Amino acid sequence: MSNLQQDLLALSRAVGAGSVRGAAETAVGLLSPYADCETTDNLTVFATVNGACNRTLLLDAHLDEVSMIVTDIDENGFLTVSACGGLDLRALPARPVTVHGRQEIPAVFCSVPPHLSDGDPSFDRIADLKIDTLLGAEAKKVIAVGDTVSFRAEPVPLSDTRITGKSLDNRASVAVLVELARRFSAEKPPMNLCFVLSAQEELGLRGIRTAAHRVQPDEAVVLDVSFADGVGISPLDCGNMGKGAMIGYSPVLERKISKKLTRLAQDHKIPYQIEVMDGHTGTNADAVSLVGNGIPTGLVSIPLRNMHTDVETVDLSDLKSVCDLIEHYIRAGGGFRD
């Protein structure tokens, strides 16, 4: 098993929902052999590698995952929750979750048996769904309103290169940053590298705003996931799983960076695909580009299926192509050196 796959499995298993620190602690454990790490109170991780000049490249991948928060507990131990991030309500009935109360409590979203259901159920609000703790009246002794709820799913290899699990949005990109730090551990990169594993992206790009203000880099490349091809998805709205890194082009992105990434992929025969976006990207790149006087920002994404569920799916070959591309981008001195 490759280091990249091992790291991705470990990161997927960890929980980074709300104030739960598991994902940050796991990421620091993976990064600390290769970079100086610090975790802030909001659970953003900074890892720095000093380079040969005083230019700084910020490489961001958000660490948080979509989750829920408890809003009510009834007398029978059934929980009402609110979404923290964009959840697909269609995928929730009968899904296992973990409630992070005084202890970690396994629970499940309720599901009405088809024998008793009046046609296909539909849900307009997550409050219409309930979580069963199976604790009955005892639930209130270990769970409180405001506690975090996360998906409970073990990552599973589907083939030689494909993996499914929870929080691959965006732990897949975090695994890429760990691998990049590993590759530069025995040498000094051409410029300073600041790996930022940002918090609260799913809540409105919050963590990267403060992180970019703190770092004040000369340029940035954001790594995230994007939609992969699948049943019912238009080819115009997605990339292709297994076809390589998705290089972003958008009015809010620095075109010099996008062009440099594309040229490097061509020169080094790295599989890639172009992702064209309009006035925003829906990623941390939107926020980074507005910090200070404006930080020149690029975006590279990994194709992912089943986004915002506990069976998100990626291809390790795509992670490798992103890693190879960013490594060459660093070695070439970034987007502003020919």
CATH number at residue 189: 3.40.630.10
Helices and strands (H, E) in the chain, number of each type: 8, 17
Same domain, 146 and 182: no
Helices (H), 218-306: 255-267, 284-288
Look over the chain and give the mean of its residue pLDDT values, rounded to a whole number: 94
The answer to whether the beta carbons of residues 335 and 328 sit under 8 Å apart is no
Collapsed DSSP state (helix, strand, coil) of residue 26: helix
Banded pLDDT at 112 (limits 50, 70, 90):
confident
Average pLDDT over residues 31-48: 96
Residue 336 belongs to a domain: no
- Percent with pLDDT over 90 in the chain: 88
Q: Domain count for the chain, please give it.
A: 2
In a domain, 161, yes or no: no
Assigned token pair, 63: 């660490």
For residue 174, pLDDT beyond 90: yes
pLDDT score recorded for residue 159: 86
The residue out of 116, 151, 186 marking a domain boundary is 151
Q: Is there a single domain that holds both residue 190 and residue 300?
A: yes
pLDDT band (50, 70, 90) for residue 163: very high
Return phi, psi of residue 21, to 5°.
-90, 0
pLDDT band at 62 (very low <50, low <70, confident <90, very high): very high
Indicate whether 191 and 322 sit together in one domain.
yes
Q: Residue 122 pLDDT more than 70?
A: no
3-state secondary structure of 126: helix
**H-run or E-run covering 212:** helix 206-215
Residue 132 and residue 209 in one domain: no
CATH for 119: 2.40.30.40
Looking at the fold, whether 114 and 261 belong to one and the same domain comes out as no
One domain, residues 114 and 174: no
Same domain, 191 and 326: yes
Q: Where are the beta strands (DSSP E) in the chain?
A: 36-39, 45-49, 56-62, 67-73, 78-84, 96-100, 104-109, 131-132, 148-151, 156-157, 162-165, 192-198, 219-227, 245-249, 272-276, 297-304, 312-315
Same-domain status, 171 and 312: yes
Find the mean pLDDT for residues 124-129: 88
The CA distance from 143 to 151, in Å, is 17
* Mean pLDDT computed over 206-230: 97
Question: With bands split at pLDDT 50, 70 and 90, how would you rate the model's confidence at 287?
Answer: very high
Nearest to 58 by CA among 318, 313, 316, 284: 284
pLDDT band (50, 70, 90) for residue 335: confident
More confident residue, 88 or 244: 244
Mean pLDDT of 155-183: 96
Boundary (domain end) residue, out of 123, 151, 179: 151
Report percent pLDDT > 70 for the chain.
97
Residue numbers of the domain that contains 316: 3-65+166-331
Q: What is the mean pLDDT of residues 303-309?
A: 96
Q: How much is the pLDDT for 124?
A: 76
What are the tens digits of pLDDT across the range 225-269?
999 999 989 998 899 999 999 999 999 999 999 999 999 999 999
Does any domain span residue 92?
Answer: yes
| pLDDT of the residue at 171 | 98
State the Cα–Cα distance between residues 281 and 51, nearest whole angstrom.
30
Residues 79, 11, single domain; the answer is no
pLDDT tens-digit profile of 238-248? 999 999 999 99
- The pLDDT assigned to 229 comes to 95
On whether residue 17 sits in a domain, the answer given is yes
